[in-house]
Chains A and B, each alone.
Chain A
């Protein structure tokens, strides 16, 4: 079973509020990812990191930001939430091992509703 956690699981918040979605993993994985998923839709990569102090924007443009100060922690922040940010956010992690295809593990997700 994957040891990757996300909090909160559900969040309802008003427009303009600053929010941080937490993601942590206890597997020591180098690579971490944030995906955005609308109901019944595919996953879109919005941020990823290959290690501490490494962050990159994903394929889908997002107004959110991320940081990677510790290996196990990869929080996502929205400075000013808007209704268009309403979605499910999934965090994932994977170990980078040369020549070996490691499984990517997903957290349970955070369902965000911005009113």
Chain B
């Protein structure tokens, strides 16, 4: 079964610093991959998605992610963190014949002054 692993349940960065949130998937066949963000007391909002069209995917709010098949990874990055980026981030993979999303355990991003 497909699984998604997010390394680091909590990541803390300084404002202006690079953000790197890690995601690895387990599948012999690269799945469709997603990054979602969840702000407090809200639902999930799509940041970006990988559909095999391009390995570097650009999303909203300056985030991007690079698909690396050799590493089975889909890490999320942002060059310069902003206070408003503080939230929980979830990596997800489409499974079940393309019908269901499998989520990682989430990474809480904290941005400090």
Contact residues of A with B, CB < 8 Å?
Answer: 4, 6, 31, 33, 40-43, 45, 48, 50, 58-59, 90, 92, 101, 103-109, 111
Contacts and interface: CB of A to CB of B under 8 A. Distances in A.
A106 B101 contact: no
Contacts of A106: 36, 43-45
Counting from the closest, the 8 A-B pairs by CB-CB distance are A106-B43, A106-B44, A42-B105, A43-B103, A108-B43, A42-B103, A101-B51, A109-B43
- Say which size band chain B's interface belongs to: 20 to 34
B50 to A, nearest CB: 9
Looking at chain B's contact residues, the main secondary structure is strand
Contacts of B32: 101
A58 B88 CA distance: 23
Interface of B: 9, 32, 34, 36, 41-46, 49, 51, 88, 90, 94, 99-101, 103-106, 108
Interface of A is mostly: strand
B104 A42 contact: yes
